[in-house]
């Protein structure tokens, strides 16, 4: 059983809210009261001194109650609290955060916001791991560079996107990210990509779609977009200024 024992109102409110949102059974007591016999984890505030004997104790920060609940769930499932993040790269990548086999968070954000979202999830994690699919090569390579000093594995994402039934539109990238997080990959620090003719063509087509004058950028600017040196918007500005060499 999970027991919340704290005199800190903010910690109490945040942790109880997170537990209720996840449908996790718990009970609450006043600090110092006798614990129920079946207690396995006690959640208390980081600055409170009581240390119940014989049970796991999780100390919660009022600013990050979800991190404490993630740790509680990890302890109950015996996985040591290690977090693995799966990323399905694309224009709006899917992100899944797993603690053991349990999905504790899921997102879908624009590609340029992936690194920020991942860093927020891993802020207090011990020895976390990020696994990213090998599709959408250019975007994936850019995400890997943006992640910086995080252990990253490149995963063969073949077959990771499930069949989606009625009413599940938009969930495919997130579910693929869950599957990617569960597949062992090859550890890498960066990914050098030489864009193919097809990839450059798609960049040019996207620039035409975003252009106010229905004009596509040239080959040189498309390569700089592919390398992550420019966004399409920046490339269009240089194109309008005549700098397309």
Q: How far apart are CA 90 and CA 77, in angstroms?
A: 32
Distance of CA 184 to the CA centre of its chain: 17
pLDDT tens sequence across 47-106: 998 788 888 899 999 998 988 888 887 777 665 557 899 999 987 899 999 887 778 889
Kindly give the parts of the chain with pLDDT less than 50: none
Rounded percentage of the chain residues whose pLDDT exceeds 70: 96
- Tokens, residue 87: 């990323």
Pairing of strands 56-60, 83-88: unpaired
* CA R_g for the chain: 23
**Could you tell me which of 71, 91, 79 has the C-alpha nearest to residue 24?**
71
């Amino acid at each position: 059983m999970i027991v919340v024992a704290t005199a800190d109102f903010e910690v109490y409110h945040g942790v109880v809210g997170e537990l209720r949102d996840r449908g996790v059974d718990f009970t609450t007591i006043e600090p110092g009261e006798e614990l129920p016999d079946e207690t396995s984890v006690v959640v208390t505030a980081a600055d409170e001194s009581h240390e119940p004997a014989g049970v796991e104790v999780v100390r919660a920060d009022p600013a990050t109650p979800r991190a404490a609940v993630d740790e509680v769930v990890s302890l109950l499932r015996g996985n040591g609290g290690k977090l693995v993040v799966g990323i399905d790269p694309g224009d709006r990548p899917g992100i899944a955060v797993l603690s053991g086999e349990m999905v504790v968070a899921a997102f879908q954000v624009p590609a340029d916001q992936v690194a920020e979202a991942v860093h927020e999830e891993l802020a207090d994690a011990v020895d976390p791991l990020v696994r990213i699919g090998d599709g959408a090569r250019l975007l994936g390579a850019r995400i890997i560079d943006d992640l910086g000093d995080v252990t990253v594995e490149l995963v063969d994402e073949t077959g990771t996107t499930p069949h989606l039934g009625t009413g599940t539109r938009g969930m495919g990238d997130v579910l693929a990210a869950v599957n990617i997080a569960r597949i062992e990959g090859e550890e890498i620090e960066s990914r050098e990509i030489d864009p193919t003719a097809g990839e450059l063509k798609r960049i040019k087509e996207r620039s035409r779609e975003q252009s106010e004058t229905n004009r596509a950028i040239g080959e040189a600017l498309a390569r700089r977009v592919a390398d992550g040196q420019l966004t399409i918007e920046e490339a269009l500005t240089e194109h309008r200024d005549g700098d397309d060499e």
